[in-house]
């Protein structure tokens, strides 16, 4: 199976394909048809952009009309159905318009998180063969004009147009259009004709590894994931989302799942806890969904009150480890949390239900979701007994159809449709999974493996610790040792390595697992969804002087 011959798509075994079709997990609907239908169904529902620089409040109908004008502008620029279009925008109105327009126009969407700089974006645009690139002119530290203007003559061979928010026309050799062309374009009525098996989204991995990987999702796999996402949305209780529209969490959880339910949509471009708490009261909405840092940041804030807590009856957390202490703090405020586990490749593998016992919701990552199969295996691919750690293999209706690089597809998938996640976990007798580590997040100290996640879980119990990441630091004698990188809780006394190790001794953690260095930081390098970029921390520890560490 291929997608117009551009990218080889992994074959889905016939038994699985038949099962997904017969159970309704797969159907013949397409992303563009769903978006067009949903926008038209509830035209007066609201879309709210809580940006300090580009605020906007309007309706589905207004966004629908602007999306049709954007579609007209792209058609006038020579783009056709099936062309690849990348968009890299903060959570502004234009990001919502771009997502809906590209879906309705049967383009292949390539969402790019705003923090990616010119080098990474040129790689993505060149690899996927993007015909158009929609971006801001500048946001934060990134100059998006330089992505195109600074490219070499052979880096972006397919790019035909650069559409920019915040800048007028010009540009050489790629024509640059300002967003004003959208305002003046004739609207084009959507007429989706894509096939359900076509690739509709190329989602590049979030950047915890060194090289972005192009993950291909078809209409079938993306809409199957949408059904999983809807399980965790409380009808009639809109929430403020900080995850970017250009990341799977924001795309599905912020602007697609609420759309299909006809709910108001609330987005913010910069997650400032003080501002978030004000918005919650002003708009009478919840917040905190996504990576655990979003919820933790508002619970930690001195301005958090019972008025805020009552607006967060339920929160779904995922995309990054969820410390059990955070779950307990939330419960003390009357907030029910669930944990979910997935990846760009397989967005929803396991998850809890809000009706599950607190012990399961707080300490595990849930059970396999509808239609999903998992197995835990050892290094030889043999099943491990319940309670024993193993690598998680998964398959399901929302599993991607491969990578744009066929060699990566061959490495990650087998002939029976199993995806090798690279995550280690434990399965309990009730079928709940707990993620314990990444295969590449194990610290090898003198030949002994140390689970970073186990050490992090123990250190998080210290009241001085707001957040911790345990990573490998170079060691001349042992090869590497554990370094605890800690962000302190507000207003606490400084923390020393001696206090950390004394705590670990009290809780019974084996001495060889104790961190041998401590680094205090104001914040962590993060992906756009709040996940700590451990690859950057490891690089920092390899390249900078150890004088900043406590040893």
How far is the CA of 391 from the CAs of 421, 423, 425, 439, in angstroms? 7, 6, 6, 8
287 closest CA partner among 237, 340, 219: 237
Q: What's the pLDDT at 115?
A: 81
Q: What's the pLDDT at 406?
A: 93
Q: What phi and psi values does residue 444 have, to the nearest 5 degrees? A: -105, 100
233 closest CA partner among 211, 261, 274: 261
Tell how strand 132-136 and strand 161-165 pair up.
parallel
Tokens at residue 354, please? 């809000």
Q: What's the pLDDT at 207?
A: 42
Q: What DSSP letter does each residue of 233-301 carry, written as one string?
A: --TT--EEE-S-TTSHHHHHHTTTHHHHTT--EEE-SS--HHHHHHHHHHHT-EE--BSHHHHHHHHSS
- C-alpha distance across the termini of the chain, in Å: 55
Q: What's the pLDDT at 451?
A: 76
Identify any residues that bridge with 474 across adjacent strands, giving them in sequence order.
480
Q: What's the pLDDT at 27?
A: 95
- In the block, residue with structure tokens 């300002």: 178
- What value, to the nearest 5°, has the Cα angle with vertex 134 and ends 529 and 109? 65
Q: At 437, which helix (H) or strand (E)?
A: strand 433-438
Q: What's the pLDDT at 411?
A: 93
Q: Three-state DSSP class for 215?
A: strand
Q: What's the pLDDT at 26?
A: 97
Q: What's the pLDDT at 3?
A: 54
Q: What is the DSSP letter of 170?
A: B
Q: At 424, which helix (H) or strand (E)?
A: strand 419-427
8 A C-beta contact, residue 177 and residue 160: no
421 contacts: CB under 8 Å, gap ≥ 6: 343, 345, 346, 349, 391, 392, 393, 394
- Tell me which CATH code domain 30-43+57-221 carries: 3.40.50.12780
Tell how strand 2-3 and strand 7-8 pair up.
antiparallel
Tens-binned pLDDT, residue by residue, of the chain (551 aa): 445 468 899 999 999 999 999 999 999 999 999 999 999 999 999 999 999 999 999 999 999 999 999 999 999 999 999 999 999 999 999 999 999 999 999 999 999 988 888 888 999 999 999 999 999 999 988 889 999 999 988 899 999 999 999 877 677 789 999 999 999 999 999 988 899 999 999 999 754 445 678 999 999 999 999 999 888 888 888 999 999 999 888 899 999 999 999 999 999 999 999 999 999 999 999 999 988 888 989 998 999 999 999 999 999 988 767 777 889 999 999 999 999 999 889 999 999 999 999 999 999 999 999 999 999 998 888 999 888 889 999 999 999 999 999 999 999 999 999 999 988 899 999 999 998 877 767 787 765 667 788 889 889 989 899 999 999 888 766 668 899 999 999 888 889 999 999 999 888 777 878 999 999 999 999 877 678 888 789 888 877 755 566 66
Q: What's the pLDDT at 141?
A: 82
Q: Where are the beta strands (DSSP E) in 441-547?
A: 442-445, 448-451, 465-475, 479-488, 517-520
Candidate CATH numbers 3.90.1150.10, 3.30.300.30, 3.40.50.280, 3.40.50.11540; the one for domain 449-548: 3.30.300.30
Sign of CA dihedral 326, 254, 251, 22: positive
List the domain boundaries for the chain. Answer: 30-43+57-221, 367-439, 449-548
Q: What's the pLDDT at 380?
A: 85
264 closest CA partner among 51, 63, 55, 53: 63
- Tell me which CATH code domain 367-439 carries: 2.30.38.10
């Amino acid at each position: 199976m291929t997608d117009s011959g551009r990218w080889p798509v992994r074959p889905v075994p016939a038994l699985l394909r038949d099962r997904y079709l017969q159970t309704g997990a797969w159907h013949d609907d397409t992303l563009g048809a769903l978006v067009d239908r949903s926008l038209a169904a509830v035209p007066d529902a609201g879309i709210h952009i809580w940006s300090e620089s580009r605020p906007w409040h309007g309706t589905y109908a207004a966004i629908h009309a602007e999306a049709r004008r954007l579609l007209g502008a792209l058609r006038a620029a020579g783009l056709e159905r099936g062309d690849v279009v990348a968009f890299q925008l903060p959570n502004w109105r234009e990001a919502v318009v771009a997502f809906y327009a590209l879906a309705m126009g049967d383009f292949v969407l390539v969402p790019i998180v705003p923090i990616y700089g010119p080098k990474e974006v040129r790689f993505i645009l060149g690899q996927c063969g993007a015909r158009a690139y929609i971006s801001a002119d500048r946001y934060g530290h990134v100059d998006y004009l330089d992505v195109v203007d600074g490219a070499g003559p052979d880096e972006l061979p397919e790019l035909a147009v650069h559409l920019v928010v915040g800048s007028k026309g010009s540009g050489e050799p790629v024509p640059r259009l300002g967003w004003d062309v959208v305002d003046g374009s004739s609207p084009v009525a959507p007429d989706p004709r894509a096939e359900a098996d076509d690739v509709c989204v190329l989602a590049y991995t979030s950047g915890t590894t060194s090289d972005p990987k192009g993950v291909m999702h078809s209409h079938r796999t993306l809409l199957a994931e949408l059904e999983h996402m809807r399980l965790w949305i409380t009808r009639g209780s809109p929430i403020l989302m900080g995850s970017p529209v250009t990341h799977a969490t924001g795309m599905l959880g912020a602007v697609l799942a609420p759309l299909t339910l006809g709910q108001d949509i609330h987005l913010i471009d910069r997650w400032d806890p003080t501002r978030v708490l004000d918005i919650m009261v002003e708009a009478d909405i919840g917040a905190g969904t996504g990576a655990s840092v979003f919820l933790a940041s508002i619970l930690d804030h001195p301005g958090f009150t019972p008025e805020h807590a009552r607006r967060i009856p339920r929160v779904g957390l995922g995309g990054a480890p969820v410390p059990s202490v955070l779950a307990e703090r939330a419960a003390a405020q009357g907030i029910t949390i669930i944990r979910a586990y997935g990846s760009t490749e397989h967005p929803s593998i396991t998850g809890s239900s809000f009706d599950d016992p607190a012990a399961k919701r707080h300490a595990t990552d849930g059970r396999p979701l509808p239609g999903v199969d998992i197995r835990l295996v050892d290094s030889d691919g043999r099943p491990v007994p319940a309670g024993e750690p193993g690598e998680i293999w998964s398959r399901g209706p929302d599993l991607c159809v491969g990578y744009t690089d066929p060699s990566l597809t061959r490495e990650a998938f087998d002939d029976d449709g199993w995806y090798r996640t690279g995550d280690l976990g434990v399965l309990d007798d009730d079928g709940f999974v707990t993620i314990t580590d990444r295969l590449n997040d194990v610290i090898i100290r003198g030949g002994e493996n140390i689970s970073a996640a186990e050490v992090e879980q123990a250190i998080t119990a210290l009241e001085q610790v707001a957040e911790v990441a345990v990573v490998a630091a170079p060691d001349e004698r042992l090869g590497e040792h554990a370094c605890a990188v800690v962000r302190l809780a507000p207003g606490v006394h400084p923390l020393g390595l001696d206090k950390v190790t004394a705590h670990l001794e009290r809780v019974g953690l084996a001495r060889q697992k104790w961190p041998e260095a401590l680094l205090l930081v104001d914040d962590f390098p993060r992906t756009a969804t709040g996940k700590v970029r451990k690859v950057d921390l490891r690089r920092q520890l390899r390249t900078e002087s150890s004088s900043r560490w406590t040893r």
